[in-house]
C-alpha cells in the first residue's frame, strides 16, 4: 500500500485522539496539530504544537509539516464552542472561531495541496456540528461550523479533478470534554438531553470516528462535497442543547 499520512488537528484528545489511534492501526502515519502533545505513544505518531487561533502559528506548523511529509489526509477536527446568548456575544467570538474552524484549515490545506495534487489523491475532512443547523447560545459556533460546510462544498468542486475529496462529519451531542464544558457530566440535564435524541442516547466518540474512517478510505473516491450528520437523528428536528 502507498504510504498514507494524516494530519489531525486536535489529535491529542477526544475524537481526534481516537481517530489517530484507529488510523495508526491501519498503518497510517499520523501527525497531531494542537496546543498539547497527545498522550498516546506510537512510532508512527508525531505532533506539532500550535495554537490554531493564531494564524502565524498555524502557518509555521503547516510549513514544518509540509517540509517533512507528503500529507495525504487532512482532518480538521479541532474546535471550541464559546457559548453565549445574543446579548453577551461579541464580534471577537465570531472572528476567533472563524480563524480556528476555517482560517486554520485553509492555511494547512494550502501547504499540503502540492503533494496531494502531485499524487493525484487526497482526503480532506471537517468535524463540523449539528449546530450548523442552529442551536441556542451558538452564534459564533453555528456560524463557523456552517461555514465549514460551505467551504467544503467549494473545495470539493475545485479539487475533484485532482482526485481529492472533501467531506464533512457533523456530530450531534457527543460525550467529550467540549460537551461537558456546556452540560455537567452525568447531570440530570445530560440525561434529559439523551432522552430527547431520537435514538435515545448521546453519541460516543467512536460513532464519529467511524464516519471519518469511511471518508478517509482511499477506495471511497466517488463521495465528495457531502455532510454526514452523526447525531442520532437530532438533525431531523429541533434539538435544544
pLDDT at residue number 86: 96
In this predicted structure, what is the pLDDT of residue 16? 96
Tens digits of per-residue pLDDT, 159-209? 999 999 999 999 988 888 777 777 788 888 888 888 888 999 998 999 999
pLDDT at 78: 96
Quick one: how many helices (H) and strands (E) in the chain? Answer: 8, 7
Which stretches within the chain are classed as H helix? Answer: 14-25, 55-68, 91-98, 104-119, 139-159, 177-180, 188-196, 205-216
Domain 5-236 has CATH 3.40.50.720: yes
Active site residue 28: no
pLDDT at 120: 97
Reported as a pLDDT band with limits 50, 70 and 90, residue 1 is very low
The active-site residue, picked from 28, 112, 141, 229, is 141
For residues 106 and 199, what is the distance between their CA atoms, to the nearest angstrom?
35
For the whole model, what pTM was predicted? 0.93
> Domain limits of the chain?
5-236
216 C-beta neighbours (distance < 10 Å), count: 23
Give 208's contacts (C-beta < 8 A, 6+ positions apart): 15, 19, 127, 169, 171, 174, 230
Kindly report the backbone phi and psi dihedral angles of residue 127, in degrees, each rounded to the nearest multiple of 5, phi listed first: -100, 100
How far is it, in rounded angstroms, from Cα 13 to Cα 206?
A: 13
- In DSSP terms, 32 is beta-bridged to 8, 47
Amino acid at each position: 500500500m502507498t504510504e498514507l499520512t494524516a494530519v489531525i488537528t486536535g489529535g491529542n484528545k477526544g475524537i481526534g485522539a481516537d481517530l489517530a489511534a484507529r488510523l495508526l492501526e491501519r498503518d497510517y502515519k499520523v501527525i497531531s496539530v494542537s496546543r498539547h502533545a497527545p498522550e498516546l505513544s506510537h512510532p508512527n505518531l508525531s505532533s506539532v504544537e500550535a495554537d490554531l487561533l493564531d494564524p502565524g502559528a498555524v502557518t509555521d506548523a503547516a510549513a514544518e509539516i509540509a517540509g517533512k511529509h507528503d500529507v495525504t489526509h487532512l482532518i480538521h477536527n479541532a474546535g471550541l464552542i464559546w457559548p453565549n446568548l445574543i446579548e453577551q456575544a461579541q464580534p471577537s467570538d465570531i472572528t476567533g472561531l472563524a480563524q480556528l474552524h476555517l482560517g486554520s484549515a485553509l492555511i494547512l490545506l494550502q501547504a499540503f495541496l502540492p503533494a496531494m495534487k502531485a499524487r493525484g489523491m487526497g482526503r480532506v475532512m471537517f468535524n463540523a456540528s449539528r449546530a450548523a443547523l442552529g442551536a441556542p447560545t451558538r452564534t459564533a459556533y453555528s456560524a463557523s461550523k456552517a461555514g465549514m460546510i460551505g467551504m467544503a462544498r467549494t473545495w470539493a468542486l475545485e479539487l475533484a479533478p485532482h482526485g481529492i475529496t472533501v467531506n464533512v462529519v457533523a456530530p450531534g451531542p457527543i460525550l467529550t470534554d467540549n460537551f461537558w464544558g456546556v452540560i455537567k457530566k452525568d447531570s440530570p440535564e445530560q440525561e434529559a438531553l439523551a432522552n430527547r435524541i431520537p435514538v435515545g442516547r448521546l453519541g460516543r466518540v467512536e460513532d464519529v470516528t467511524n464516519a471519518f474512517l469511511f471518508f478517509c478510505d482511499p477506495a471511497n473516491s466517488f463521495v465528495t462535497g457531502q455532510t454526514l450528520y452523526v447525531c442520532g437523528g437530532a438533525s431531523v428536528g429541533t434539538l435544544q442543547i
